[in-house]
Amino acid sequence: MASSLSNGHASPPNPPAIHVKFTQLFINGHFLHSLSGKTFETIDPRTGDIIATVAEATKEDVDAAVHAARHAFDSGPWPRMSGSERGRILMKWADLIDQNAEEVAALDAMDAGKLFQWCKMEVPSVANMLRYYAGAGDKIHGEVLKMSREFHAYTLLEPIGVVGHIIPWNFPSTMFFSKVSPSLAAGCTMVIKPAEQTPLSALFYAYLAKLAGIPDGVLNVVPGFGPTAGAAITSHMDIDKVSFTGSTQVGREVMQAAAKSNLKQVSLELGGKSPLIIFDDADVDKAVELALIGILFNKGEICAASSRVFVQEGIYDEFEKKLVEKAKAWVVGDPFDPNAQQGPQVDKKQFEKILRYIEHGKREGATLLTGGKTVGNRGYYIEPTVFINVKEDMLIAQDEIFGPVMALMKFKTMEDAIKSANNTKYGLAAGIVTKNIDIANTVSRSIRAGMIWINCYFAFGHDVPFGGYKMSGFGKDCGLEALHKYLQVKSVVTPIYNSPWL
């Protein structure tokens, strides 16, 4: 197992000089202490050391943030601005993000254990996502309807109101803007709860939003914990919609809270156990690369990870051999080391959860082909791990592990592959590797998942809708589909002159 950790002990390279500037709640345009005075520590997963102490939002803080957002929606300028004026402010915010990209990228790398080199690409990408929706703001319109009766009718698209965004820790910047960008373009105001593991970049973005000219109360950021701040958002009577990304279990709780409160609208992007299906005609070297990236990118902490890999029997042996070679050469190390390909898991809890799944896979009778151990004496590093002889009903083939753990399986026919791919409660994404267009078309239409990649993987884009089927949730992030999550349709009907219905 390749490692950039010296003598099995993490000796982190020096990151760019960073001073964590923003650690308080951002409510109504101001950074504030929590009303309770509570704080929590955000931890560097490279070492387990404390990065910063952050204000912890409780129900009372969420109430204050919602009050600010409600006032900004009901009486403030944001929903009443022209789409082009909102777009101008969002464009300025995007420019400020570009100007501060390296600093924000370093915050995410330290806070989440993400590779710094990837974060430096991710942050400019979210600025472009913001620009995409800024350009859509003045193109929101309804349509004129031809009624069968003697009436004139048209529809209006109006912002849904105050939105509660609850975002996960695996992609702090991307998830922040996949929620915030379309809802701001639609004219909504909002309260955002970043994950307690990764609050720092969200607070920095709030500061830049203020500089860009987003009015006070429109965007509020309340770091805190799910059972307190998150629950207060989902059950709040003055929030009109909740957009949540996270586990399926918590997604259920979000829906229940929304139903029991004011029946607010909900959109959910939840777990996944995505299949990657590799056919006999595939280029084996390319397929191995896709399979490794599919499970090891972002250390497997990605909902669309290809955690189940199915390889057709004709090339299986060659594939397995090359996969092991590549996995053993994979470099696990400090995310600020330019040679590292995989950083630490986000925190101790996630680290220990993944290790428990690895032990469970062994007990179930799967064969550990490679990996399965920790790396170094500090931090939360785990080797790339591949299991073979996996049965589809095993826990490691059914549960979302959310780590660098692959279940590698063999199949005979296309029909077998389709059946196995759909043998999951999830339906977020899938990959197909083949040179046969008929196979690609048939399989892509047969798998019940919201995103299908053919001869590629993780080909995301801010202009392509992303979301799941089945227990992977509903509602789309990205693309114009996301914009419509934050709009509601109003029908307006007037009688035609001299109508007999007058």
What amino acid positions are annotated as catalytic residues?
269
**Residues 46 and 63 sit within 8 Å (Cβ to Cβ):** no
Residue 171: CA count within 13 A, CB half-sphere? 22
Reduced to 3 states (helix: H, G, I; strand: E, B; else coil), residue 370 is strand
β-pairing, 49-55 vs 39-44, is: antiparallel
The whole-angstrom separation of Cα 495 and Cα 498 is 8
The CA distance from 250 to 248, in Å, is: 6
Give which of 398, 403, 349 is closest to 371, Cα–Cα. Answer: 403
Distance CA 70, CA 335 (A): 40
CB-count burial class (<10 Å; 0-12, 13-18, 19+) for 398: middle
Q: Terminal CA-to-CA distance of the chain, rounded, Å?
A: 81
Segment 32-36 long-range contacts (CB within 8 Å, at least 24 positions apart): 34/58, 34/61, 35/60, 35/61, 35/64, 36/60, 36/61
What is the spatial distance between Cα 220 and Cα 206, in angstroms, rounded to a whole number? 8
Any idea which residue has 């049965």 for tokens? 391
Residue 358's alpha-carbon distances to 300, 352, 363, 383, in angstroms, are 14, 10, 9, 11
Q: Please give the backbone phi and psi of residue 454, each rounded to the nearest 5 degrees, phi first.
A: -110, 120
Please give the DSSP secondary-structure letter assigned to residue 298.
G
Read out DSSP for 16-84?
SP------SEEETTEEE--TT--EEEEEETTTTEEEEEEEPP-HHHHHHHHHHHHHHHHTSSGGGS-HH
Helix spans in 261-347 (H): 284-296, 313-329
- Token pair of 399, please? 């549960």
Q: For residue 483, give the H/E element and its range.
A: helix 479-485
